Amino acid sequence: MSQTLSTLMESALNEKALNFSLIDCLICLACAFLLGGLIALTYKKTYRGVMYSSTYGITLVAMTMVSTLILMVVTSNVVLTLGMVGALSIIRFRTAIKESMDVMFMFWAVASGIVVGAGLIGMAAIGCILIAAVLFILSNRKQLGSTPYVLVVRMQDPAIMDEVMRETKQNVSRMQIKNKTITGTDAELTLDVRLKNDDASFVTPLAKLPGVMSAALVTYNGEYIS
């Protein structure tokens, strides 16, 4: 039985060696590199977070090429497929992915690599171009309504809270109270506001009002305007 299995493995490996094409491998990897570059470029241009990670863009390119290489092996030899499944099963990824869009880009890179590795280069190219176009359109499209902001004002005297609200209401198109916190002689006011023509210049004079300790305007995605 062991001899039969050994014979089958040897014949499978010999068949793989005979069918191996260096040119096809290079072409697929080159296409995977180009598509991975397109994915990384799309990630960079559509990124809306606080800090862009260039290493993640490099990871997307490498992941596309690795996925292509893996699928080329999987589709060409059953014996090597079993060995690769066993090797990949011991890999553990410990890096936490915080943004849902980062997960989407990673899945996009893996899917593109799989399609290229299967020999469907045209389909992979068309799919990547269309997905990139959709992401560019959606990321640059004006949102319906104005961008929501949270205004947080800390005061030394709770008595000036009404004055702060009046000053804020004159400079925004919409204002809604989210939270009022009074601790001894200190107070904190949290407002949901919509800016007029994206003008946040009123925050500076607001912070200079007598009794105001600080004023911060924050978007819901964590970006600060000072």
Please tell me whether the overall predicted TM-score, pTM, comes out greater than 0.75 for this model: no
Instruction: Give the C-alpha separation, 167 to 193, whole Å.
Output: 13
According to the CATH classification, is domain 148-225 in 3.30.70.260? yes
What are 98-125's pLDDT values in tens digits? 667 888 898 899 899 888 988 888 999 9
CA distances from 141 to 138, 145, 181 (A): 5, 12, 37
What are 181-205's pLDDT values in tens digits? 888 778 888 888 888 877 788 888 8
Q: What averages of pLDDT result for each successive group of 10 residues across the chain (226 residues)? A: 51 51 85 93 82 83 89 67 54 62 88 88 92 87 64 84 85 84 82 82 83 82 47
pLDDT at 62: 92
Residues 6+ apart with CB under 8 A from 107: none
Q: Which amino acid is at 220?
A: Y
- The structural domains of the chain, with segments of one domain joined by +, span 2-140, 148-225
